[in-house]
Structures are given as structure tokens and as C-alpha cells.
């Protein structure tokens, strides 16, 4: 696509907030083979209020309201390192980044649903496919470029969203036609500025064109996005793909015939998504 220099200048001029310090620290831990309870506890010491919210959510969401977790290390032991880490990421990002020109809840509901689905798909990957510990975070951040456009373009972007909804077109195609770049590229630029891990940047940049990605994480997020859109958990434009058949299932060693059970698991997880939204 031909880049619009004026749009690039406006993107570069956006005074976007720095990522929460907890997110920056946890993103560094994603590259570790094994994150410990002590490391997560140390990260949460940077934000005492966040620690309280994480414990409350761990008790109510993961333990069904019947738990009595009183500290982060105990939460990790009860529900797992990855779950606690993902809760921290979700609460931090949802609480700090709010759109202005489009609805808050559908956007983050979709992002959280894609994150949840990416983790479900990660758990289904066959032996031999490299582990993707950043699956949830990549899903959570895949559409962050929409927030960049929201700040850079203001009401102009609101009109693009309305056009995609009215014409029932994929948003990234409307953006590319009008701006010369889409929210996937804008998001990748933002994550690069935040010094996020390369695989998160790759997933954001190529979640609509996973064959161009440099790691399997782009395919995983692409499929998670496809599943959620197919089930109606979209970011507000209302685009629904006609079916879920796609060659990227086979590329990751997954069976497209598993879609019905995956759909059941995704729907079950929406309650947790809603609780994270409510707690943020």
C-alpha cells in the first residue's frame, strides 16, 4: 500500500501514553522460558493498586468466587503464572487506554475475547509447534492501532468506522484505501515505540496477512480474530466473516473441524472477559 505522508506525520505527532510500568516489565518476562511467582510479585510491587485488583479478580473469576487468595504468589500457585500474568496485562491496558471516537466496551470486549481465544488455540497446538507464551498478550494488543488512529485522526476516524459498518467492509481495507495504511501497521509502529517484544509487533502488523509474518504468532492471532468475528465478538464495525474455513488452521497443525468445540470454549470464556472489563 502507498503510505500517506500526512497520516504518518499525524501518527508521529500523537502524544500517546507510555505503557503502564507493570506492562513494560511483564513484556520483558515474556521472552523468558519460565516466569516465576517472585518475578510477577516484583512487577506488581510497582503498582500496589493493581495488585489488589488482580487478587480480587483472581478470587472472583478464576476461583469462581470461592477462593481466598491473599497474595500474588499464592494466586500464582492456585491459578498459574500465565493466568495471573494475563490478568495483569488485561487490567493494565484496558484501564489505561480508552478510545474517544468509538465505543469502549465493544473494542476491549473483542480484544479480550481474541486474547482468550488465542490462549485456547495455543493450548491445542500439536507437539513440535514452538510454544507461544505471548499468545494472550498478542491477542489483547492486536487492534491497538485503532486507538492510535482514534487519537491521530479524531472525528475523521469515526467516519471511517461508520463507513466500514454501513458498507459491511473489513475496517482495515477501508483504512488502507483512505489512508494508505491500516490499524495493523499503526499498531505495530506503536508497539515498536514502546519497545515491545518483536513477536508482539509481528502479530499486530500481520494479523490480517499472517503469511507475511515472521513467526507463527501472527497466524495464531489471525485465527483467534477469525473465530471471534465469526461468533459476533467484533470490535464494533459489525463485520462478520462468512465462514471459518481457512488454510491457516492447517499451517499451525490445527483441525478446522475443531471449530465447534472451540466456539463453545470461547463462549464460556466471555463471562471472564466481562468481569475483566468490569474490574478495569
Mean pLDDT of 75-79: 74
Q: Where are the alpha helices (DSSP H) in the chain?
A: 5-13, 21-29, 37-44, 48-57, 72-79, 81-96, 104-124, 135-141, 144-153, 155-167, 171-179, 183-193, 198-205, 217-230, 248-251, 259-279
Q: What percent of the chain has pLDDT over 90?
A: 35
What is the DSSP annotation of 25-75? HHHHHTTSS---HHHHHHHHTT-HHHHHHHHHHIIIIISTT-----SHHHH
pLDDT value at residue 32: 66
Residue appearing with cell numbers 471449530: 259
For the stretch 201-216, pLDDT in tens is 999 999 999 999 888 9
Are the C-beta atoms of 172 and 159 separated by less than 8 Å? no
Q: What pTM, to 2 d.p., does this model score?
A: 0.87
Mean pLDDT of 118-134: 88
- Distance, CA of 97 to CA of 32 (rounded, Å): 26
pLDDT value at residue 59: 73
Are the C-beta atoms of 1 and 180 separated by less than 8 Å? yes
Neighbours of 47 (CB within 10 A): 19
Are the C-beta atoms of 243 and 175 separated by less than 8 Å? no
For residue 52, give every residue at least 6 positions away whose Cβ sits within 8 Å of its Cβ, in sequence order, or none. Answer: none
pLDDT value at residue 114: 96
For residue 183, give every residue at least 6 positions away whose Cβ sits within 8 Å of its Cβ, in sequence order, or none. Answer: 143, 145, 146, 148, 149, 171, 172, 175
pLDDT value at residue 130: 81
Structural domains of the chain, with CATH = 5-16+99-279 (1.10.3210.10), 18-96 (no CATH)
State the chain's mean pLDDT as an integer: 84
Q: DSSP class of residue 236? A: S
pLDDT value at residue 161: 92
Between 229 and 36, whose confidence is greater?
Answer: 229
Neighbours of 238 (CB within 10 A): 14
Q: In which band, very low, low, confident or very high, does the pLDDT at 117 lie, cut at 50, 70 and 90? A: very high
Amino acid at each position: 500500500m502507498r503510505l500517506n505522508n500526512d497520516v504518518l506525520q499525524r501518527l508521529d505527532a500523537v502524544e500517546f501514553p507510555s505503557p503502564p510500568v507493570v506492562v513494560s516489565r511483564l513484556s520483558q518476562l515474556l521472552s523468558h522460558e519460565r516466569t516465576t511467582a517472585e518475578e510477577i510479585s516484583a512487577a506488581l510491587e510497582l503498582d500496589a493498586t493493581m495488585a489488589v485488583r488482580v487478587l480480587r479478580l483472581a478470587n472472583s473469576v478464576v476461583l469462581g468466587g470461592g477462593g481466598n487468595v491473599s497474595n500474588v504468589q499464592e494466586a500464582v500457585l492456585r491459578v498459574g503464572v500465565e493466568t495471573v500474568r494475563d490478568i495483569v496485562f488485561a487490567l493494565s491496558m484496558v484501564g489505561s487506554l480508552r478510545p474517544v471516537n468509538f465505543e469502549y466496551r465493544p473494542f476491549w470486549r473483542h480484544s479480550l475475547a481474541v486474547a482468550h481465544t488465542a490462549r485456547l488455540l495455543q493450548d491445542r497446538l500439536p507437539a513440535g509447534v514452538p510454544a507461544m507464551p505471548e499468545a494472550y498478550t498478542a491477542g489483547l494488543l492486536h487492534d491497538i492501532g485503532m486507538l492510535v488512529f482514534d487519537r491521530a485522526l479524531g472525528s475523521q476516524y469515526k467516519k471511517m468506522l461508520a463507513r466500514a459498518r454501513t458498507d459491511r467492509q473489513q475496517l482495515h481495507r477501508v483504512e488502507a484505501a483512505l489512508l494508505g495504511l491500516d490499524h495493523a501497521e499503526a499498531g505495530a509502529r506503536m508497539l515498536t515505540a514502546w519497545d515491545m517484544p518483536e513477536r508482539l509487533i509481528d502479530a499486530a502488523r500481520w494479523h490480517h496477512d499472517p503469511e507475511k509474518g515472521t513467526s507463527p504468532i501472527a497466524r495464531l492471532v489471525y485465527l483467534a480474530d477469525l473465530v471471534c468475528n465469526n461468533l459476533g465478538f467484533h470490535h464494533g464495525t459489525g463485520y462478520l466473516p462468512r465462514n471459518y474455513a481457512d488454510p491457516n488452521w492447517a499451517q499451525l497443525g490445527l483441525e478446522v473441524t475443531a471449530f465447534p468445540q472451540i466456539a463453545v470454549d470461547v463462549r464460556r470464556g466471555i463471562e471472564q472477559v466481562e468481569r475483566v472489563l468490569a474490574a478495569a
